[in-house]
Chain A
Amino acid sequence: MVVDASPVKETIEPGQFFNIKCGESYFPLLRRPFSIYKINDTTLEFMYLVKGAGTKYLTRLETGDKVNLFGPLGKPFSLEQSYQTILLVARGVGIATLAALAQKAAQDGIRAVAILSARTTNDLLAAQELQEFGAEVYKVTEEEGTSDVANVRKMVNQIMIEHPIDAVFTCGSKRLSILLQDMIKENHIPGQIALEEHMGCAMGVCYACVCDVKEEDAVHSVKVCKDGPVFPLEKVVLK
């Protein structure tokens, strides 16, 4: 979905999201959080998977229709100037937010290597867009028997041999995130994760979307909508 972003005065950054009203009636009632997929000069793009009543409503919108967006919300990814190569690991629609990051990385002259995971090759999203941003893209799927954690670990190791990776970014899979937590620890590199959670207010008041983070030895609860959705990968407690 491409929307005219000219009414948005705030700076919009990869990792942030908009809470979008997906209907005009009381069903669906709640807004749906969508991460930003592409940030263009005057437009914004969202990539969504048609899953329920909310996303079905969005498919029925036509060019010229108005959409009620609330945002930009949340904390963005941070890209350090010193990064030369970053690794993106996404599962399914989790690629949306990482595509925005790849776009920004390309603008900043940072090289991106991406591993995209999905059930089937048909479900692999945004591979071409990532390549257009100059990213080196690897695809893994259940269909081809390549998406298991052991294989992804092998791939990441191989990538790390070929290019020194300065930071890892991930979204969309708990399994892969746990793997990457291991790998960034082994390799002493930083990582960031964009979390997905059911939201109520998306403003930090209702405590619907919480997760645990580990700071030193204490575990405490943070709000995905306000304190995130991007968190340091090593700190998030993935149950």
Chain B
Amino acid sequence: MSINPNLAVNIGGLQLQNPVMPASGAFGEDMEEVIDFNRLGAVVPKSITKQPRGGNQTPRVCETYGGMINSIGIQSKGINYYLKHILPYYQKYQSPLISSISAESIDEFAEMSETIAEVPHVRAIELNISCPNLKGNGLAFGMDEALTYELIRKVRGVTDKPIIAKLTPNVTSIQDIARACEEAGADGLNVANTMLAMAIDVESRKPKVGNIMGGLSGPAVKPIIVRLIYQVYQATKLPIIGCGGVMTGMDAIEMMLAGATAVQVGTANFVTPTAMIDILEEIKAYMKRHGLVCIDDIVGGVAEPVTK
């Protein structure tokens, strides 16, 4: 006889029925025909910007070995449309909504967070301080410890709802950024956004994405993400959402062993539109097979090498 494992997790005060949710930018209303949103740990609509944004020139995606590069550039209809149309759409689902915000300045992050956090069914804010496709050379707030601290601090001042900082992997020491987030009052960390990358078509000599550089995602980045999660888990006490290359339930478990409490699924949704449900089932099956009763039994459970 096996006990039904409990998949519920808590991300800085946000209670989720399970640890599987979409990655911002790889999920949207149009997926409702393919999967039951009520089965997800949370729903995370695409990052919203204050003003409408056109996004980058096409091609916006290209394939690489075991992954893809995207340079979408946060095409967005702006915050007014988001408040009027996108957020209300998700009201009918019981899965908590995490609102992903992208902004051009610290003040704008705070202003947008304040407005969006006032929407009752927005249960948490994810601060996208790490999109590599907005500024030249992939520059992002999340690359600078002091800016990150100031940004989180400011947003902390405008809302009591959980704040999740989405970190960039394109840094020398992610631990420093993670600690800055913790000290500034963040409730959780998303590890991580895409990796700044580039691919060139050797026949035409053209970069394979219109914006020249883009963000690498997919199974190819997973070992780096596992390492980053492991480092962040050592450095802070904040719950971690692992993001980058989760294709299967075992990938999710691996991230949890490194220290993640939940995972986000992006690229896998494109390959298998029902991937998130499959991943959820695989996590459950793993827990049963190992006699684990809750996710906490996995988080940070990587075995350390025996020292002689």
Residues in B neighbouring A21, C-beta threshold 8 A: 271
Residues in A neighbouring B226, C-beta threshold 8 A: none
Could you list which residues of chain A lie within 8 angstroms of chain B, going by C-beta atoms?
A: 21, 26-31, 70, 197-211, 221, 226
Q: Which 6 A-B pairs have the closest CB atoms?
A: A205-B28, A204-B30, A26-B66, A208-B61, A198-B59, A207-B75
User: Quick one: given A197-B59, A198-B58, are A206 and B26 in contact (CB under 8 Å)?
Assistant: yes
Is A201 touching B269 in the complex (CB atoms < 8 A)?
Answer: yes
Is B66 touching A70 in the complex (CB atoms < 8 A)?
Answer: no
Is B34 touching A203 in the complex (CB atoms < 8 A)?
Answer: yes
Residues in A neighbouring B122, C-beta threshold 8 A: none
Interface of A is mostly: loop
Is A201 touching B26 in the complex (CB atoms < 8 A)?
Answer: yes
Q: Which of B65, B66, B72 contacts A207 (CB 8 A)?
A: B72
User: Quick one: given A27-B65, A208-B61, are A221 and B70 in contact (CB under 8 Å)?
Assistant: no
- Bound Cα distance from A197 to B61, whole angstroms: 10
- The reply on B62 being an interface residue by CB < 8 A is yes
CB-nearest residue of chain A to B245: A26
User: Quick one: given A27-B65, A30-B270, A221-B75, are A208 and B28 in contact (CB under 8 Å)?
Assistant: no
Residues in A neighbouring B28, C-beta threshold 8 A: 203-206
- The reply on B60 being an interface residue by CB < 8 A is yes
Is B34 touching A30 in the complex (CB atoms < 8 A)?
Answer: no
Residues in B neighbouring A207, C-beta threshold 8 A: 25, 46, 55, 60, 72, 75
Residues in B neighbouring A201, C-beta threshold 8 A: 26, 31, 269-270, 273
CB-nearest residue of chain A to B54: A221
- Bound Cα distance from A146 to B273, whole angstroms: 44
Is B31 touching A200 in the complex (CB atoms < 8 A)?
Answer: no
Interface string of B7-39 (1 = CB under 8 A from A): 000000000000000000111111101100000
User: Quick one: given A70-B273, A207-B75, are A198 and B62 in contact (CB under 8 Å)?
Assistant: yes
Residues in A neighbouring B70, C-beta threshold 8 A: 200, 206, 208
Q: In the assembled complex, how far is the CB of residue B33 from the closest CB belonging to chain A, in whole angstroms?
A: 8
